[in-house]
Chains A and B, each alone.
Chain A
């Protein structure tokens, strides 16, 4: 990148900074909704899957299959049912977040030392107390790793939301591509990357704090 193109990019960025900020907020909201709703739907399913592994395996398989469908295809598939806007976009983000959260919830709970669970039961913990006081806290770092994967993925995939008319930084990226305006594309793409990296760092921090408290080297 030459000096001229850098300065033209920066001056373009300065020109549209308020618009970028507005789209970035939309982007964050879309991503947050996707991650939060995805996690709160997948987490109970994951707990359920550890209690009934037969049904649980199907759930893992189905969400795994959905995970492999290209994001544009999922979005396109949603449109006839949910119309345009943020709803199909968030729905697509939720579907993507299921598999990592579900799988990590299962793995995390199943990896809890059975001696620890038995100690808790032996001391008179009810099944709910075993779940909330022992299994979930101990599985937390693993579940958190799943949510972290989802967060990064969701921020990226939310870019596609622009195609469904949900707004977000994708708008700049795709109009930039169609107008062959590199500056416009970059002004959308660079904040997306930064947001993804920040989310990854932040959640990594939470994950490692939980781990180090338990004496797991992370």
Chain B
């Protein structure tokens, strides 16, 4: 890949506790601006791996680079201050107000008071809570709100890298989904490099640009949602489970499953049902000079070489965008009792069609 900056890199990193190897020769690279999810059953070493990035847990062997620098050569305190950290049990300091919690990192660094005040106001707005919350104590706000404050606190010093250790694990499923959506929305503007640990596969598919699955200290597989659902490894398949496939479909865009070679004729052209181009096809799409789709015709309506007339033209309904998710497209097909959907860009250009078959076939089939 060209022009990608590596923010975090692990080279053969292992961690021993006594004789027990909890992280075993792990290698990965995390690109700038990407959300990398580490997932696995409990005790697989995912949290330990995360904590080695900011050296809360020092590694036993191998090398870890953060923004190109070997972490063993950095002052751990400085390293941690340059990385945002959101933890499992929220970890807000109960004796401090929300303002002091959010400003905690800035206070550690002795940032001037005035700047701290401004930053706190900025952050509380960013996470969508009212200003008045700044003077409350953590126990006076809900779990979901506390978790948002946890994210705000991690962002206070504007770090490039954010470590999130099961950040939404302590809240109810509804709030969790809401927080995931907010995180993704936030990520569009802040574009941080995030390492996100979870044990929830759906969450992994939802927030992760790439996912690494760990088992007994080893990184078993790593890749996009599509790579993961296509993995052949029995452990990976058993781990992700059937339901998670739907979450994966939610992250795969329609354009990956477009059938682009469907037959197309231009407005005003004549149709010959015997044209070899139309072999195996029932319908032909009609487009104008600008590439806009006018509709389609059924080949069964044509006995011989004849011109396409408006009576025979059928309207295309419920087209989907190339950027829509496969889940949405499949849902639309099931809902509308359709075997296929036309794919049309925002500008109205006809791209092709998507069908059940094409959706399924991008998940590499075993035969």
A120→B140 contact, CB < 8 A: no
**B257 contact set on A, CB distance < 8 A:** none
Total count of chain B residues near the partner, CB < 8 A: 30
Stretch in B83-91, B242-250, B262-270 with 4+ CB within 8 Å of A: B83-91
Closest residue on chain B to residue A130 by CB atoms: B108
B93→A122 contact, CB < 8 A: no
Assess whether A119 is interfacial by the CB under 8 Å rule. Answer: yes
A121→B56 contact, CB < 8 A: yes
Encode contact with B along A179-218: 1 for CB under 8 Å, 0 otherwise.
Answer: 0000000000000000000000000000000100111000
Encode contact with B along A111-145: 1 for CB under 8 Å, 0 otherwise.
Answer: 00101101111111110010001100110100000
Q: What residues make up the interface of B, taking CB atoms closer than 8 Å to A?
A: 51, 54, 56, 77-82, 85, 87-89, 91-95, 104-105, 107-109, 137-140, 153-154, 163
**B140 contact set on A, CB distance < 8 A:** 215
> Top 4 closest A-B pairs, CB basis?
A215-B139, A119-B91, A124-B81, A124-B80
A124→B56 contact, CB < 8 A: no
B137→A123 contact, CB < 8 A: no
B108 in complex: contacting residue of A113, A125, A210, A215, CB < 8 Å: A125
**B94 contact set on A, CB distance < 8 A:** 116, 138, 214-215
Q: What residues make up the interface of A, taking CB atoms closer than 8 Å to B?
A: 113, 115-116, 118-126, 129, 133-134, 137-138, 140, 210, 213-215
B80→A118 contact, CB < 8 A: no
**B80 contact set on A, CB distance < 8 A:** 121-124
| A218–B87 CA distance with the chains assembled, in angstroms | 28
| A216–B21 CA distance with the chains assembled, in angstroms | 40
**A213 contact set on B, CB distance < 8 A:** 95, 137
If A137-B95, A215-B94 touch, does A122 touch B137 (CB 8 Å cutoff)?
no
**B88 contact set on A, CB distance < 8 A:** 115
| A138–B80 CA distance with the chains assembled, in angstroms | 23
Can you identify 12 A-B contacts, CB atoms within 8 angstroms?
Answer: A115-B88, A120-B93, A120-B104, A124-B78, A124-B108, A133-B104, A133-B108, A134-B93, A137-B95, A138-B95, A214-B95, A215-B94
**A123 contact set on B, CB distance < 8 A:** 80-81, 85, 104-105, 108, 153-154
User: In the complex, which of the residues A116, A119, A134, A213 has the most CB atoms of chain B within 10 Å of its own CB atom?
Assistant: A119
If A138-B95, A214-B95 touch, does A122 touch B108 (CB 8 Å cutoff)?
no
| A208–B138 CA distance with the chains assembled, in angstroms | 17
| A213–B79 CA distance with the chains assembled, in angstroms | 32
**B108 contact set on A, CB distance < 8 A:** 123-126, 129, 133
B137→A118 contact, CB < 8 A: no
Kindly provide the distance from the CB of B205 to the nearest chain A CB, expressed in whole angstroms.
Answer: 26
**B154 contact set on A, CB distance < 8 A:** 123
**A125 contact set on B, CB distance < 8 A:** 77, 108
